[in-house]
Amino acid sequence: MHTILLTGGAGFIGSHLTRLFVRKYANYKIVNLDKLTYAGNLENLRDIENEPNYQFIKGDITDLELLRKLFAEYKFTAVLHCAAESHVDRSITDPLAFINTNVLGTASLLQAAKEAWSGEFENKIFYHISTDEVYGSLGETGFFTEETAYDPRSPYSASKASSDHIVRAFYHTYKMPVKISNCSNNYGPYHFPEKLIPLCIHNIINNKPLPIYGKGENVRDWLYVEDHVKAIDVVFHNGKIGETYNIGGHNEWTNISLVKELCRQMDGKLGREKGSSEKLITYVTDRAGHDLRYAIDATKLKDELGWTPSLQFEEGISKTIDWYLANAEWLKHVTSGDYQKYYNSQYRS
């Protein structure tokens, strides 16, 4: 039995996590605290918004007074912390927004939990959801393990690394019962179309250029979002207190080969001539400080907790494309307004 403060539940991963917990654990209460930034969208949660064990609260994780009030009112036994500023390119133009939410926001949540739980840590969990980007950039070989030294290079990854360190500091200093997981790149339904995969799906549908940074040789390790949230479920219930678990799919793709696979599948699904979407590929100026390669070694999670990804990439991508084609209204809503302004300034050259 848990009453869970789930932060960032209106975002991409948060909405999948909220759905999983609300549906799977009828005896838990899930309170979703989300500021509804450009990336937060209550449409992501339409199918569960009326469930009796779910509640939404609009608010900011940096607002310590609000957090204190919520802990007093709901008597949370657990925190599932997903809220963050999450897009590397935005962190390059506005680093302070990342430091504010990712560092101060996480510290405020820890502080509120520490005050509310005041040393009574039995059956309590503070679960911090983090990224493999904290480990920095790999060369052509090797993998990130839980022992890899932190070496973040973007304002986004530095802010996430900082938040991981603060979470561990609360574990060592106050015995706060924390868990951390660091996951590789996710993809799937409800992914905001500023990130590579949904951006390319959107642009292929609309016959717009597919912007590839640099030569397209950077490598990412992609995991279907539902596999990520299943791993979080496993770590939440069976992971050891104070431990970190890496989550990844052993599924490395260079950006250019990934985009070509997207083009190939979408030509088929849209009934377009073979090779026509690839013509949209456009090489653009590289991202500043662009990390070359991420790749996760998830052996600890497999050996200790028995988790492995369930979906092969070609199948996951096919499901993802089908979802975007079936949800044109969702895509239309999130690509209007503020997003259009961001897009025009990011890709103006």
Residue range at the interface with ligand TYD (CB under 6 A); choices 23-31, 140-148, 210-218, 337-345: 210-218
Min. distance of Cβ 322 from ligand NAD in angstroms?
A: 20
Q: Is 196 or 204 the residue whose CB approaches ligand TYD more closely? A: 196
Min. distance of Cβ 230 from ligand NAD in angstroms?
A: 14
Q: Is 259 or 277 the residue whose CB approaches ligand NAD more closely? A: 259
- Using CB under 6 A as the binding rule, whether residue 105 contacts ligand TYD is answered as no
- Using CB under 6 A as the binding rule, whether residue 218 contacts ligand TYD is answered as yes
Q: Which does 61 bind (CB under 5 to 8 A by kind): ligand NAD, ligand TYD, none?
A: ligand NAD
Min. distance of Cβ 196 from ligand TYD in angstroms?
A: 4
- Per the listing, tokens 């239309």 go with 332
d(CA 178, CA 125): 6
Q: CB–CB of 185/221 below 8 Å?
A: yes
| Token pair belonging to 326 | 């079936």
- Using CB under 6 A as the binding rule, whether residue 265 contacts ligand TYD is answered as no
Give the footprint of ligand NAD on this chain (CB under 6 A).
7-8, 10-14, 34-37, 39-40, 60-62, 82-86, 101, 105, 129, 131, 160, 183, 185-186, 192
Q: CB–CB of 223/183 below 8 Å?
A: yes
Q: Which does 179 bind (CB under 5 to 8 A by kind): ligand NAD, ligand TYD, none?
A: none
Residue range at the interface with ligand TYD (CB under 6 A); choices 5-13, 39-47, 195-203, 330-338: 195-203
In the chain the first and final C-alpha atoms are separated, in Å, by 53
- Using CB under 6 A as the binding rule, whether residue 91 contacts ligand TYD is answered as no
Give the closest residue to 19 by CA, choosing from 46, 37, 40, 1: 46
Min. distance of Cβ 63 from ligand NAD in angstroms?
A: 8
- Using CB under 6 A as the binding rule, whether residue 255 contacts ligand TYD is answered as yes
Q: Is 119 or 139 the residue whose CB approaches ligand TYD more closely? A: 139
Q: Is 108 or 246 the residue whose CB approaches ligand TYD more closely? A: 246
- Using CB under 6 A as the binding rule, whether residue 211 contacts ligand TYD is answered as yes
- Using CB under 6 A as the binding rule, whether residue 199 contacts ligand TYD is answered as yes
Q: Which residues are designated catalytic? A: 132-133, 156
Q: Which amino acid is at 107?
A: A
Min. distance of Cβ 238 from ligand NAD in angstroms?
A: 20
Min. distance of Cβ 80 from ligand TYD in angstroms?
A: 21
Q: Which does 8 bind (CB under 5 to 8 A by kind): ligand NAD, ligand TYD, none?
A: ligand NAD
Helix/strand/coil (H, E, C) string of the chain? CCEEEEECCCCHHHHHHHHHHHHHCCCCEEEEEECCCCCCCHHHHHHHCCCCCEEEEECCCCCHHHHHHHHHHHCCCEEEECCCCCCHHHHHHCHHHHHHHHHHHHHHHHHHHHHHHCCCCCCCEEEEEEEHHHHCCECCCCCECCCCCCCCCCHHHHHHHHHHHHHHHHHHHHCCCEEEEEECEEECCCCCCCCHHHHHHHHHHCCCCEEEECCCCCEEEEEEHHHHHHHHHHHHHHCCCCCEEEECCCCEEEHHHHHHHHHHHHHHHHCCCCCCHHHHEEEECCCCCCCCECCECCHHHHHHHCCCCCCCHHHHHHHHHHHHHHCHHHHHHHCCCHHHHHHHHHCCC
Q: Is 37 or 277 the residue whose CB approaches ligand NAD more closely? A: 37
Q: Is 199 or 334 the residue whose CB approaches ligand TYD more closely? A: 199
Which residues of the shown chain bind ligand TYD in the complex (CB under 6 A)? 88, 185, 195-196, 199, 211-213, 218, 220, 255, 287
